[in-house]
Copies of this chain bind each other. A is one copy, B any other.
């Protein structure tokens, strides 16, 4: 008798979501429902194309168990509950819908574990409040994958994830361990691991993300050029890294002392890599400012850590985000009645 497969819903079908769908399906322990948007039509018609450093090149016309272009409404549709919902969308709490609102119709209370594969801090709080009976899990991912055209993915840096429960509680821990086992059903993904210390993993990744990302977005500059300039690293990237390391330490997470220097040099210099927030700025998209910049700043300052560089860069990024909101019709410039600067 075949073991029943885990039912996994993936919300967010960019490069990360598609590679997760593939890993889960190829492992044989999951049946994936992938929610696609702009790439839905192409995936329906011609399947998904993948060239993967983990799973091989030349994967063509591939489809997971189910593709759809809406979030399932489990009770309305009368479908079986999902065991896991993996969320790989951007997390931009300053504009609706929130992640909690987005996934709510697909969540079965007391059953579905929600896996947040998103960067930054405190992203679990709205979900813990909204779904108090459900395990909320963290994935900190180091994968590099790009959707070069709709439903066409190049996956060039190995899938590596640290997965654990946001709240160290037995049911959530068990769900996290089961998710790791299901995800790596293929046995190919040695770097997709259970890691109980979620906050540490998140702070660790922020040392890169809170520094290179907003600076790259403000300057529209790749990381190689930042390093060639020297001063962008000396004046901005390194000071922010040291501020984030100090904030992490104040929060109880001692990161390796050589981490900033290692991360400054982590990107290949031949590649002119533009961090994701810079790519969003390039495209006129909203940026994940609050989770990646605002929250670590607030966490550090609440513990008395001086973070003047990140504070100022946060102010710049909020201003740039405001310009994007104006362009998208999400903010109409005007003076509120109580604005002291009118």
Contacts of A330 in B (CB 8 A): none
A276 at the interface (CB under 8 A from B): no
Which of these, B236, B319, B336, contacts A312 with CB under 8 Å? B236
Contacts of A320 in B (CB 8 A): 219
A183 at the interface (CB under 8 A from B): no
Docked pose: A229 CA to B334 CA in angstroms: 8
Which of these, B231, B265, B319, contacts A221 with CB under 8 Å? B319
- Chain A to chain B: the 7 pairs with minimum beta-carbon distance, closest first: A308-B308, A235-B315, A312-B312, A227-B341, A219-B319, A236-B315, A232-B319
A319 touching B229, Cβ below 8 Å:
yes
Show 23 residue pairs from A and B whose CB-CB distance is below 8 angstroms, ordered by the A residue. A219-B319, A219-B320, A221-B319, A221-B322, A225-B322, A225-B333, A226-B319, A227-B342, A228-B333, A228-B339, A230-B336, A232-B318, A232-B322, A233-B341, A235-B311, A235-B315, A236-B319, A269-B342, A308-B309, A308-B312, A309-B311, A309-B312, A312-B313
Docked pose: A318 CA to B234 CA in angstroms: 12
A218 at the interface (CB under 8 A from B): yes
Give A164-222 interface residues, CB cut-off 8 Å to B.
215, 218-221
B323 touching A220, Cβ below 8 Å:
yes
Chain A positions within 8 Å of B, measured between CB atoms, are 215, 218-221, 224-233, 235-236, 239, 264-265, 269, 308-309, 311-316, 318-320, 322-323, 326, 333-336, 339-342
Docked pose: A235 CA to B307 CA in angstroms: 13
A230 touching B341, Cβ below 8 Å:
yes
**Looking across the interface, which residue of chain B has its beta carbon closest to that of A338?**
B230
Which of these, B235, B314, B319, contacts A314 with CB under 8 Å? B235
Contacts of A264 in B (CB 8 A): 341
> Provided the pairs A269-B342, A308-B309, A341-B264 are in contact, do residues A316 and B218 lie with their beta carbons within 8 angstroms?
yes
Docked pose: A245 CA to B30 CA in angstroms: 63
Additional A-B contacts beyond A225-B322, A236-B316 (20; CB < 8 A)? A218-B218, A218-B316, A219-B319, A219-B323, A221-B323, A225-B333, A226-B319, A228-B334, A229-B319, A232-B315, A232-B319, A232-B322, A235-B311, A235-B314, A235-B318, A265-B341, A308-B309, A308-B312, A312-B313, A316-B316
Dominant secondary structure at the A interface: helix
CB distance from A220 to the nearest CB of B (A): 7
Contacts of A326 in B (CB 8 A): 225
Q: Which of A220, A308, A312 has the most chain B CB atoms closer than 10 A to its own CB?
A: A312
B231 touching A318, Cβ below 8 Å:
yes
Docked pose: A167 CA to B231 CA in angstroms: 34
Which of these, B215, B224, B265, B323, contacts A333 with CB under 8 Å? B224
Contacts of A227 in B (CB 8 A): 335, 339, 341-342
**Looking across the interface, which residue of chain B has its beta carbon closest to that of A312?**
B312
Q: Which of A219, A227, A232, A323 has the most chain B CB atoms closer than 10 A to its own CB?
A: A219
**Looking across the interface, which residue of chain B has its beta carbon closest to that of A308?**
B308
Contacts of A309 in B (CB 8 A): 308, 311-312, 315
**Looking across the interface, which residue of chain B has its beta carbon closest to that of A340?**
B230
Docked pose: A313 CA to B235 CA in angstroms: 10
